[in-house]
Structure 1
């Protein structure tokens, strides 16, 4: 009769480095090999992703630093256009980009003009740099726009007038009213031009003359219009009168001109008042600088 193997044989094999013990060691080795392989794969993947990210960043930065246009001494970059698009309400299109590039050119001109006039200072944080602080630049452009009028030529003064046709003809008729107005303004213009009266005194003289109410109910309000304008701006609707005022020196007095207004009944433009002007201040403007624009 066959004899069953002794159970101690299996026990001896498990504890003496036999077949079963070797299989367990192999599993441990395999586990460590797999763990090492996974760690290497993870490390390599991280390194590759990092290199790709750096490469992508370099490409993006290179694109942002591409020069769109050069204005004078400043280069305008793709990044500047991207910043403008962020705040522009309309959908991106070719027309929108052309409009914003024109704005970028205008802004650069304003900044450089203000800098050359000594009104502002420019540095790399806002100027000629793709990494500029764009919010800071926008604020500086706003400041330049406020300050730039100081660089233009300008004049200040008063326009003194007496009306004879305001809204509707006076009861005495236009011709009679016209004669009264012309006589009054002639006396005042002569007195101011000769130095016998100041412009302020002439205005007060009109306002104190209650007889003028017969030809213009608003004679007090219409007695004077003060102006302060820069080169290229209108003073009145009368071009010849404006040209004479621009030609006066400080303290100068113009000749008498006839002003026009719209007849409310007919819609026609008709003679309505007499006026003369005085210039109290003449401001010499800075020489205008032209900045070359080169599109890339």
Structure 2
């Protein structure tokens, strides 16, 4: 494993935007994670954890510190639980679930990002969420201490978990509880979700998926609120509110991170000004 310098981050995220990492590495084993964390402590480097990059926006310019990508932490181990490396993509996992007749993740068919990222943010779609299948998570903190968290200790709620309160934690692997089902049933439901995402144009442009959280307590889907005040197609620089999904901000090909940030701020301002609703961001911005 190498520690690389001045690594472009635009090709590490689904937004395809961002500056450069001062230092970057991609450990493939838990021992390598321990090693790079000790190296970061010795050099007093800031540490930034990157999964699949599907819910993150790196600012333009130099991102100081060490970016640790978990993408190579990709494995499957069947015990009492199905243990999955944090870097495995959700698409890879759902393909495995189809081939092995394991049900519980059909809703995530075609979902971008990694298992670690979906666990971190309690990914949700089609009235289902990651918390339904996560039983246990193996974690390491920046000091090198390893521990396990139970489902209860993760404190899941709508697109939220305890991991969001501890930026010095890295998810290493996730213990999932899936159940047996006919392969054809799992395939049909999973591929239906994949097709629906494709038909809605979710892969047509680089984006980070939904930019804002829905407010289910007041039945206020963020996309509906943004659409109703006429912001579909509204753009700043190369960043635009997607015509097919008002809660998606897309990179039309020339967007900079600053364009997206300014567009997010303007959407928030206009929505509050016209409706009194405070939108809560889902996409994470790293400066």
Q: TM-score range by the shorter chain?
A: under 0.3
Please state which structure has a larger fraction of its residues in helix. Answer: 1
1 or 2, which has the higher strand percentage? 2
Query: Larger RCO: Structure 1 or Structure 2 (Cα < 8 Å, ≥ 6 residues apart)?
Result: 1
- Could you tell me the TM-score, scaled by structure 2's length? 0.19
Larger Rg over CA atoms: 1
Normalised TM-score (structure 1): 0.18
